[in-house]
Structure 1
Amino acid sequence: MRNDHIAVRNLVNKKYKTVYLILGISFSIAIIVCLFLLNRSMEKMLADSYDAIGSNMVVTLKKNVVGKDALTVDDIIKINSVEYRQNIAVIAPKLIEKVKIRNNDVIAVGVDFPAELNLKKKWWKFKGSKPYRSDDLLLGSKVAKKLSVNIGNKLEILGKKFTVRAILKKTGTDDDNVIFVNLLTLQELLHKEGVLSLIEVSAYCYTCPIESISAQIRQKLPYANVKIISSILEQRKQTVEKFEVFSKVITAFTFITMITFVSVVMFSSIMERLKEIGIFRTIGFRKSDVAEIFFTESIIVGFIGGTIGYLLGFLLAKIADLKLFTEFNLNVDFSFILFGIVVIISVFIAIISTLIPAIKAANTDPIKTLNFV
């Protein structure tokens, strides 16, 4: 009988211990994979955000302002009157409302399309042509799929017919769930002429004194909040860095625990099989043959545990993304390369954990073992 056949038979015969060992490896790998995928997605999100940042400031109305219910187009004029107005590249006003389309609640964002497309949103790639007319629509990828529409289709919003001019490719942000409409048209349909929900302000980033501009806007609009986007990203970066440290600590602890767990279980298995090992040695099995049997068992267990562990870790990361990290707009993707690396590492750890017990088993004196048993 070949050594690999003996290894498989041993695993099948001791199925409860085998399942116990596989579950231990699987859960350990799952924790490590989940933390790694989340951490990698957060880092990618931050990198994309810094690289693709379009506007530098977001102006919104403060809560409970007496005599002021909303921002208006007059506030755009005031922003244009600040001392550093020559450093302002784009002012992009927006009106945000929830509307009913084909019995679906959808977020409609009224925008000035030329200004919006000039915000240097590098992540905006779309199919179709640039919207420019009052009845043009730009749809996010998810909302287009939800409404089952394509480029050139007609959509009725608040009693008015619109044409889908373009559809955004997946961005991984809230833009995927939004319908972009001409600002003046949406204001008219909602009977909110001149009303705005927020104003995005883009400056010439390499030369602009961003703090000074935001301070001047606050002075002109004392009833408004002016948030600097880069500051928000810095706060988010600190959160990601803390999570990264936490991930590394948990990963190191899980690695040590997994190696200890596999070593103890394999050592226990060897002690239970001393008679079997003695018989193998007596009938002519070499030390290398005995070691090979245990290493083959560890490779099989490591492979199965690594495979289940990666799939479980990926599922946990997906659930965490949807339930716990919704504000980060993460995009956790399945990676066959990472899957292969995880399985290889799992097998390697199983072999390393089995090394000392396997050597001890190979060096067992068959005579003493048989007499002892």
Structure 2
Amino acid sequence: MKLYQIGLKNLNRRKLRASLITAGLALAVAIEVALTGMTKSLEVDFSRKLDEYGANILILPKTNELSLDYGGLPVTGVSFGSQKLTMPDVDKIKQIRNSENVSTIAPQLLQAADVNGQKAIVSGIDFKSELRLKRWWKVSGTVPGQPDEVLIGSSAARVFNVHPGQIISIDKSNFRVAGLLSETGSQDDKLVFLSLPVAQKLFGKGNDLSLIEVTALCYNCPIDEMVNQIQQKLPNANVSALRQQIESRMDVMHRLRHFSVILSTAVV
């Protein structure tokens, strides 16, 4: 009797056992494939949500004049030296090779100004972009929708003792307080926010910007590659990745991946 005949005879004797083993292996493989696919889908979806939660690239003008502090980073609020960021630079960012990975671009103008007789930092922003960038913002009152409306950070509101509906003066121009920003624990608490075009006109800045924040969806695109592409488009700017935010997001992704491996092993 040949070897394969012995094997077939043995299988015939143990058909039920062989069937159960085969079915078990098939089920294990099916579960592993399903979990792997589900985990991959979760990683992509979760990564995109993390990437959309705050900026991970900061763009500043090249200058030696450092007059203000923004989130621990020196920025040029009063003067930019010989190099400037301008509104057309925002359009250039949209033209990079990996433009599909750019989620949000939030330009900003920072300016020291006289607010109700006291010195404060005023931030000109695009409210729509800023709210998309900083999803954790909570506003008491309403988000400014008119050119003469402002949003005030929690610390600044206490200093100026203002509430929604009141009028404040910024460099001798009157604005209505539309809302107050709930405490964030960041530099935003100390700022007075108004529409970017209004701020540029009020302070005589034309198209000038102090900084540009970018949210890049970098699940399938290395952040350094995005930085290099933007730097090539904006040679007169300093483009840098915000490493702390990136590392925090990567840590969350590693934990998710580790958990999925443990889950797959336990189930199989």
Q: Give the shorter-chain TM-score range.
A: 0.5 to 0.7
After TM superposition, which residue ranges in structure 1, 4 or more long, deviate above 4 angstroms?
Answer: 50-53, 64-67, 231-235
Q: Paired residue for 1:113?
A: 127
Q: Paired residue for 1:89?
A: 103
Report the TM-score, using the length of structure 1 for normalisation.
0.46
Match of 1:101 among 115, 121, 130: 115
1:155 is aligned to 2:163: no
Are the counterparts in 1 of residues 108 and 212 from structure 2 also a CA contact under 8 Å? yes
CA positional deviation for 1:63: 2.2
Q: Paired residue for 1:229?
A: 242
CA positional deviation for 1:90: 1.1
The AA in structure 2 aligned to 1:61 is: P
Are the counterparts in 1 of residues 126 and 195 from structure 2 also a CA contact under 8 Å? yes
Q: Paired residue for 2:211?
A: 198
Matches within 5 A, 1:15-26: none
Matches within 5 A, 1:227-306: 227-231=240-244, 234=247
Distance (whole Å) between structure 2 residues aligned to residue 196 and residue 165 of structure 1:
24
Q: Paired residue for 2:198?
A: 185
Distance (whole Å) between structure 1 residues aligned to residue 238 and residue 100 of structure 2:
22
Are the counterparts in 2 of residues 99 and 157 from structure 1 also a CA contact under 8 Å? yes
CA positional deviation for 1:154: 1.0
1:71 is aligned to 2:102: no
Q: Paired residue for 2:54?
A: 54
Are the counterparts in 2 of residues 137 and 164 from structure 1 also a CA contact under 8 Å? yes
Please give the per-residue CA displacement for 1:249-270, whole angstroms capped at 9, x wherever unaligned. Answer: xxxxxxxxxxxxxxxxxxxxxx
Match of 1:175 among 176, 188, 213: 188
Are the counterparts in 1 of residues 83 and 236 from structure 2 also a CA contact under 8 Å? no
The AA in structure 1 aligned to 2:108 is: K
The AA in structure 1 aligned to 2:238 is: N
The AA in structure 2 aligned to 1:157 is: I
RMSD of equivalent CA atoms: 2.5
Are the counterparts in 1 of residues 51 and 218 from structure 2 also a CA contact under 8 Å? no
CA positional deviation for 1:231: 4.6
User: Structure 1 residues 226 and 232, CA, compared in 2 at 3 Å: closer, same or farther?
Assistant: farther
Distance (whole Å) between structure 1 residues aligned to residue 119 and residue 246 of structure 2:
30
CA positional deviation for 1:67: 8.8
Matches within 5 A, 1:211-226: 211-226=224-239
Any unmatched runs of 5+ in structure 1?
1-49, 236-373
Are the counterparts in 2 of residues 151 and 166 from structure 1 also a CA contact under 8 Å? yes
For the residue of structure 1 that corresponds to 2:231, the secondary structure is helix
CA positional deviation for 1:125: 1.3
Report the TM-score, using the length of structure 2 for normalisation.
0.63
Calculate percent identity across the aligned residue pairs: 38
For the residue of structure 2 that corresponds to 1:218, the secondary structure is helix
CA positional deviation for 1:74: 1.6
Distance (whole Å) between structure 2 residues aligned to residue 200 and residue 113 of structure 1:
13
Are the counterparts in 2 of residues 52 and 123 from structure 1 also a CA contact under 8 Å? no
Q: Paired residue for 1:312?
A: none
Are the counterparts in 2 of residues 91 and 201 from structure 1 also a CA contact under 8 Å? yes
Distance (whole Å) between structure 1 residues aligned to residue 104 and residue 52 of structure 2:
15
Distance (whole Å) between structure 1 residues aligned to residue 114 and residue 84 of structure 2:
22
The AA in structure 2 aligned to 1:116 is: E
For the residue of structure 1 that corresponds to 2:140, the secondary structure is strand
Q: Paired residue for 1:141?
A: 154
User: Structure 1 residues 179 and 159, CA, compared in 2 at 3 Å: closer, same or farther?
Assistant: same
For the residue of structure 2 that corresponds to 1:152, the secondary structure is coil
For the residue of structure 1 that corresponds to 2:137, the secondary structure is coil
For the residue of structure 2 that corresponds to 1:214, the secondary structure is helix
User: Structure 1 residues 187 and 226, CA, compared in 2 at 3 Å: closer, same or farther?
Assistant: same
Q: Which one has the bigger strand percentage?
A: 2
Number of equivalenced pairs: 185
Are the counterparts in 2 of residues 114 and 132 from structure 1 also a CA contact under 8 Å? no
Distance (whole Å) between structure 2 residues aligned to residue 206 and residue 166 of structure 1:
35
Distance (whole Å) between structure 2 residues aligned to residue 215 and residue 51 of structure 1:
18
For the residue of structure 2 that corresponds to 1:110, the secondary structure is strand
Q: Which one has the bigger helix percentage?
A: 1
The AA in structure 2 aligned to 1:62 is: K
Are the counterparts in 1 of residues 51 and 216 from structure 2 also a CA contact under 8 Å? no
Are the counterparts in 1 of residues 141 and 178 from structure 2 also a CA contact under 8 Å? yes
The AA in structure 1 aligned to 2:162 is: V
User: Structure 1 residues 104 and 124, CA, compared in 2 at 3 Å: closer, same or farther?
Assistant: same
Distance (whole Å) between structure 2 residues aligned to residue 109 and residue 67 of structure 1:
19
CA positional deviation for 1:69: 3.0
For the residue of structure 1 that corresponds to 2:164, the secondary structure is coil
CA positional deviation for 1:159: 2.5
